[in-house]
Structure 1
């Protein structure tokens, strides 16, 4: 356990970098969950499995179809989003007006099916995905060594999260999405195709999970259980930020990654539980989350 008087800045900033990388993935996945719940009121427990699906799609594309990393960044989110649209149309839409518990159980079942299928096909040991040549190497800063790919993950994730927030909160399209979920009949009276908006919104939310999977493939082992390991943490982050809060999901994801990184340096034994401890404290003070609104 480190104290304030024996801080190793090189190790501390190294842990902060790891925390920022984890926070970038937390933010992307939490953003997708917040969009799906905040706009569609669907508790998507398959988000972790779709994150895993994105990583495997990148690996399969490279090894069987010759699709490199840069094309995978474009094609895999579209493919995972299309798969999400298929799920929404065939399985989720029939229970859209039922209690939230039904969608939670359904998506949890989908996650188990996907994880079981990929374990059967590829085993559980994990697969490696090569880092793109353009992002190899790194930069030596005065206080740490910064790998280029890690810096790319942080910058790219922040740009995606900021762009998504801007579209949903500050554009006419985002206004249509929010209005279509709050008062669909009124929007349909104005000629807006609300069911199509719902479908595309769900597809975009799960597409973010696929994008996170592609980003994670070169630095984490591509394995069937990679989604289940991160899902519970991401749900805790969404609860801390406030269920359905787009900005809250982004800020809380990044902040919890940093908190986790600092905890790994100062008190490693608590690093796996610190996010859940923060969740408990936040819910005791503000049950709707830091950025959530009262119903």
Structure 2
């Protein structure tokens, strides 16, 4: 029973990793931008949910619908006004830009709410437990896992089965060849950046009832998400999702059965091993391959 509980907990944690890594993967794949502000947008998703409840009395369900859309539009505006201007320069410039944006957003939230964590209760109807046969499990965590799996499946379907998705996927996986064939990938850059930000914000809203809402919650998670993306393969959508769930499971099992030091460093040990064996990541494309 203990192993099953830790396994489901690992899948829930992996769901957060998968959503965040999926957003990072599509942004990097199409823009070749390492969006260090991804964790800050995740934090803003949780803070946005808290703001709507605390200041406006709006429920979790309203936040789940509104906050990702608002932050996604902010991401589109950010790409069109700032990120695009640096696209022709060394990628380090956009990395520094998004790193600076992270510090600005964190300090802005600190000035409004301080550094103290804010509680956010589970939404109405999801406060109890669900009978999973061998054990009971918190209903809200089951909901989070279901949403994460459903969203990943929908994104995969859109990328694999729709014309727009195929263009975006081609731009992610074969950007030079796609442009050489005359396909206008540029028109999708801002929407894809906004979509990646919206995924991070949605993960933040989902995390609000599970994790304490505070300005540093994104910084605590983003390094692990970067490791997940590297393990799955930079720019690989499937690899990011698969690695996210796998790392969530490994972390849950190691926290339950391994020494604390190993549990804290496992994700980075796995990343180092993967890079030694396959530098492009498990599902990444080796440079120079067709």
**Could you tell me the TM-score, scaled by structure 1's length?**
0.91
Q: Secondary structure at the match of 1:146?
A: strand
User: What is the CA-CA distance between 1:130 and the residue it aligns to?
Assistant: 1.8
Q: Partner residue of 1:62?
A: 53
In structure 1, how many angstroms separate the alpha carbons of the residues matched to 2:37 and 2:182? 29
1:86 alignment partner in structure 2 = 77
**Unpaired runs of 5+ in structure 1?**
1-8
Q: Is the 8 A contact 1:33 1:43 kept in 2?
A: yes
Residues in 2 aligned to 1:166 and 1:102: alpha-carbon distance in whole angstroms: 33
Q: 1:88 to 1:272 in 2, by over 3 A?
A: same
Secondary structure of the residue that 1:135 maps to in structure 2?
coil
Q: Write the deviation string for residues 128-151 of structure 1: whole angstroms up to 9, x where unpaired.
A: 112111111112445322111010
- 2:105 alignment counterpart: 114
TM superposition shift of 1:185: 7.1
Aligned to 2:155: 164
CA contact (8 A) 1:15 1:264 kept: no
Q: Distance in 2 between matches of 1:142 and 1:267?
A: 27
Asked if structure 2 preserves the Cα contact closer than 8 Å seen for 1:129 and 1:218, the reply is yes
Could you say if the C-alpha distance between residues 179 and 141 of structure 1 is closer, same or farther in structure 2, counting changes exceeding 3 Å? closer
1:73 deviates by 1.2
Alignment of 1:292 onto 2:275? no
CA contact (8 A) 1:131 1:218 kept: yes
CA distance in 2, matches of 1:143, 1:273: 31
User: Does the 8 Å contact 1:179/1:187 carry over to 2?
Assistant: no
Cα deviation, residue 186, structure 1: 5.0
Show CA shifts across 1:29-58 (max 9, x none).
Answer: 000000000122111010000000011111
Summarize the alignment of residues 40-59 of structure 1 with structure 2, pairs less than 5 Å apart: 40-59=31-50
Q: Which residue of 2 aligns with 1:249?
A: 240
Task: Kindly tell me the number of residue pairs found equivalent between the two proteins.
Answer: 282
Match of 1:279 among 267, 271, 278: 271
1:22 paired to 2:13: yes
In structure 2, list runs of 5 or more residues that go unmatched.
none
The two structures have a TM-score, normalised by structure 2, of 0.93
* Secondary structure of 2:137's aligned partner: strand
> Could you say what the CA RMSD is over the residues aligned between the two structures, in angstroms?
1.5
- Which moves more between the two structures, 82-91 or 216-225? 82-91
Listed one character per residue, the Cα deviations across residues 148-187 of structure 1 (whole Å, up to 9, x for unaligned) are 1010000110000111122123321012224455444754
The residue number in structure 1 matching 2:62 is 71
SS in structure 1 of the partner of residue 264 of structure 2 = coil
> Is structure 2 residue 227 aligned with structure 1 residue 201?
no
